[in-house]
Structure 1
Amino acid sequence: MGSPSSLKLGVQICGVGYGWGEWRHPDVPADASISLNFYRQQAQLAEAGRLDFLFIADSLHIHEKSNPHYLNRFEPLTLLSALATVTEHIGLVATASVSYTEPFNLARQLASLDHLSGGRAGWNVVTSWLSGTADNFGKAEHPPHRVRYYMAREHLSVVKGLWDSWEDDAFVRDKPSGEFFLPSKLHRLDHNGEFFRVKGPLNIARSPQGQPVIFQGGTSVEGREFAAGHADVVFLNPESLTEAQWRYQDIKGRAACLGRNLQQVQVLANIRPVVGRTASEVEQRYQHICQFITLEDALVTLGRPFNDHDFSRYPLDEPFPDVGDLGREHLQGHSEHIKQVARDEKLTLRQTAWRFALPQREFTGTPEQLADRLEHWFQQGAADGFVINPWPGGLQHFVELVIPELQRRGLFRREYSGHTLRDHLQLSTPINRYAPRRELI
């Protein structure tokens, strides 16, 4: 495993792009979101850079104004199972919703990915915020924000319980005696809760890393409390060093109050870097990216955390509109952040839309400047590492230019030294809940 002082680095791979217009960039294949060749190339590039993990996000509801990537893309666990066969070391993290999956099925799928990959699976736990999702699953209504986090706690508890169905040495597979497994090391869950009833046991053994790594990225109070109590890795979306430090300390403080080992709670900041060999190349790339962001798309992007609210109906050059509690039951943390920024900085609607659509300058620069910024955030208690959400062509730029500089400074590994995602992130292997109990008898 790497040094405790090493940065943790992951990458979100997002087909034709996170933004609405990125699919038009010449460096992006127009069919990238359903191209296994594209994902394989990106995964192998990330692994060549010795990154800890790659991450595939997801959502379960679309409409005619959805992001082009969202309209036509692979299901994450299916895709990651394919990528497990063309990579050897890099972690494989999938988003899956607790509000619209059954714990038994999801526990089995994630455990299968963990086995297929040799212990490299991770689960980004989300509650789903778009209300239209309920219509795709035969639900009368979308659960309220607070209820979704109650469901999340119970869902995750059930999944973890199922992952412990078999003790690590349960399968002896002794052909001479005919003993395939030890019945005393098989455990039924018998869960009967508020939202789920699951008998168990799970029909797959414990994986090489014990259990997949748990990721979470909630920014609301409920989301941060859930992450601090249950996540191994927490995603944050700060816009400045000061905000990152506050959010980092908030998560770590909550985790400490819950009695957790803080070295086992990694906090990573999401960034979209723009990097070039020279200042002029950086600016050229920055301006090129901006060409593919229209005001119309910026307004659609702005409406996303407000349950896809239509902001185009408001005057552009008047103050950001008063939308009341809109967004509180959906992507609460992000929608509240947008309203606060618009209010504090006295922004018009047009200015607010551009503020959250254009590339931020915080992580824009030469390899040395990017490494300086990453190192500064790391050393100043703003993040244990970063998740790169690259602009078109950005992953290759980061791997070729920034990774060598981080390695030269001793901030990032030169080679993988472990085999599992837990090895990469320096996370301990969970002990099967039944094993210690048996030892005490």
Structure 2
Amino acid sequence: MAKRTRQMRLGAFLFDYGHHYAAWRHPESTTSKAIDLEFYRQSAQVAEQGKFDMLFLADSGSLPSIADLESNVSFIYPEAVTLLGALASVTGKIGLAGTASTTFNEPYSLARRFATLDHLSNGRAGWNVVTSTKESEARNFNADHLPEHRQRYERASEFLEVVKGLWDCWQDDAVVMEREQGRYADPDRVHRLNHTGSHFRVDGPLNMPRSPQGRPVIIEAGTSPAGQQLAAKTADVVFTACDNKEEAITFYQQLKSQLPVHGRHADEIKVMPGLMAFIGATEEEALEKERQFNELVQPTVGASYLSKLLNYDLSNHPIDGPLPDIPKQGSTSRAVMIIERAQQSKMTIRELGMHYSVARGHLTITGTPEQVASVMEEWFTSGACDGFNIMQPLLPQGLEDFVHQVVPLLQEKGLFRSEYTGSTLREHLGLTRPTGRQT
């Protein structure tokens, strides 16, 4: 088949054991360590063999419940940038994207971390920008409560402005390296930021030259109205959670329609919903695989995880009763999605807990490799997305299945690359390198 002009973008979302809530209990789970570099190395190299655009790591700044650790590993995260630095040394092409919050970080130190990763990886770094959503996180960072939703996004917007400004303080040609003259850099090409705003005062510049990509790739969720507005202005990639194609098309159109307001065009932002695939040689085999995974989820554990997603304690409510009235105002976009699904479907807390502990509201496909590839093609060609963030139930085996069984079908359809044609994450994603300061 002739090569298509528009091709899918694929990310590999890595998480210890796998993305299914009970992956750690699965008899085929290959690691007993909470944080295992060999596990991440294997997963990263499998994704690179599949020519994925990037690896993606989530992160969190708290352990919401010590009691839940008895049966729940979803709170355990390695610090993302540290792990990505390690993975930079065992991969050569694939992008390296990690999460860091604007609520409990400072722009200067975060700008340095991701610029360093971009230098060490020769231009493969990406920052997943989030605002913190858990009260338990606030209490780890000298605060009694989270700032309210609007304030978090106002801080995030200014935070991004400062970080991008710091990444641009050095012009691309500032380092001259004139050894005979003893002249390392041209001071006229290095600039102070001199930022004074509502939340930050930062002089700059960074104490390192501009990184290979100019700026690491910016990734955001962008589901809520405030999130969409910020993403339309600042994001290069948007990760979404949506399991309904028509709703995904609506979101895609709404987000991209906001870009011209910021002087941007549709190709400057890539929308990549999460996707979990249970793959079998037959549809029956895939369904049986899914059933075996789901039987490992204890109902009370699913309900506890639902509490975490909602930031609302459900322990005093009947597990076979309806979701209580939870105000949408001040809730995260994920919580609002759960509340609305509960209202529409009349699902019980038990049923909701099971549903969201499997794929956390992301698209789930259960079937043969051909069926998985067909659904992906349908979403992509109908304008629901620009690609997917792959979240396999068990890692690295599930990612190996996807790479060896689904990716070749996408390649045969002309939907996905057979080889890398660039070396940086921006080049993989078809994004231009920011120009930066000229004077």
* More divergent stretch after superposition (101-110 vs 2-11): 2-11
Could you list the per-position Cα deviations for residues 199-229 of structure 1 after superposition, in whole angstroms to 9, with x for gaps in the alignment? 1110111111111000001321111111111
1:5 aligned residue: 6
Could you list the per-position Cα deviations for residues 276-335 of structure 1 after superposition, in whole angstroms to 9, with x for gaps in the alignment? 22223212211121122121121012112222x22232123333222334xx434x2111
**Pair 1:323-2:326 in alignment:** yes
2:346 aligned residue: 346
Residue 69 of structure 1: how far off its partner (Å): 3.8
Change (3 A) 1:3 1:87: farther
Residue 72 of structure 1: how far off its partner (Å): 4.1
1:365 aligned residue: 367
Residue 5 of structure 1: how far off its partner (Å): 1.2
Residue 355 of structure 1: how far off its partner (Å): 3.1
Alignment of 1:73-112 (within 5 A): 73-112=77-116
2:317 aligned residue: 314
**Matched residue of 2:180: which SS?**
coil
Given that 1:6 and 1:410 are in contact with CA atoms closer than 8 Å, whether structure 2 keeps it comes out as yes
Between the aligned partners of 1:234 and 1:153, the Cα distance in structure 2 is 16
Compute the TM-score of the two structures, normalised by the length of structure 1.
Answer: 0.93
1:203 aligned residue: 207
Between the aligned partners of 1:350 and 1:34, the Cα distance in structure 2 is 30
Give the number of equivalent residue pairs: 430
- Quick one: which amino acid aligns to residue 32 of structure 2? D
**Matched residue of 1:180: which SS?**
strand
2:382 aligned residue: 380
1:148 aligned residue: 152
- Quick one: which amino acid aligns to residue 190 of structure 1? N
Between the aligned partners of 1:342 and 1:110, the Cα distance in structure 2 is 39
Residue 271 of structure 1: how far off its partner (Å): 1.1
The correspondence for 2:262, drawn from 258, 268, 273, is 258
Change (3 A) 1:297 1:256: farther
Change (3 A) 1:69 1:207: farther
Given that 1:16 and 1:68 are in contact with CA atoms closer than 8 Å, whether structure 2 keeps it comes out as no
Change (3 A) 1:141 1:321: closer
Alignment of 1:182-197 (within 5 A): 182-197=186-201
1:160 aligned residue: 164
Between the aligned partners of 1:279 and 1:90, the Cα distance in structure 2 is 31
1:278 aligned residue: 282
Given that 1:282 and 1:365 are in contact with CA atoms closer than 8 Å, whether structure 2 keeps it comes out as yes
* More divergent stretch after superposition (281-290 vs 227-236): 281-290
The correspondence for 1:137, drawn from 114, 136, 141, is 141
Uncovered stretches (5+) of structure 1, i.e. residues with no partner: none
Between the aligned partners of 1:224 and 1:31, the Cα distance in structure 2 is 39
- Quick one: which amino acid aligns to residue 207 of structure 1? S
Given that 1:189 and 1:200 are in contact with CA atoms closer than 8 Å, whether structure 2 keeps it comes out as yes
Given that 2:241 and 2:363 are in contact with CA atoms closer than 8 Å, whether structure 1 keeps it comes out as no
Alignment of 1:46-85 (within 5 A): 46-62=47-63, 63-64=65-66, 65=68, 68-85=72-89
Uncovered stretches (5+) of structure 2, i.e. residues with no partner: none
Residue 70 of structure 1: how far off its partner (Å): 4.6
Residue 71 of structure 1: how far off its partner (Å): 4.6
Given that 2:22 and 2:294 are in contact with CA atoms closer than 8 Å, whether structure 1 keeps it comes out as no
Change (3 A) 1:24 1:351: closer
**Pair 1:269-2:273 in alignment:** yes
- Quick one: which amino acid aligns to residue 46 of structure 1? A
Given that 1:321 and 1:349 are in contact with CA atoms closer than 8 Å, whether structure 2 keeps it comes out as no
**Pair 1:390-2:397 in alignment:** no
Between the aligned partners of 1:362 and 1:41, the Cα distance in structure 2 is 24
- Quick one: which amino acid aligns to residue 189 of structure 2? K
Residue 49 of structure 1: how far off its partner (Å): 0.4
- Quick one: which amino acid aligns to residue 187 of structure 1? H
Change (3 A) 1:357 1:137: closer
* More divergent stretch after superposition (312-321 vs 39-48): 312-321
Between the aligned partners of 2:291 and 2:383, the Cα distance in structure 1 is 31
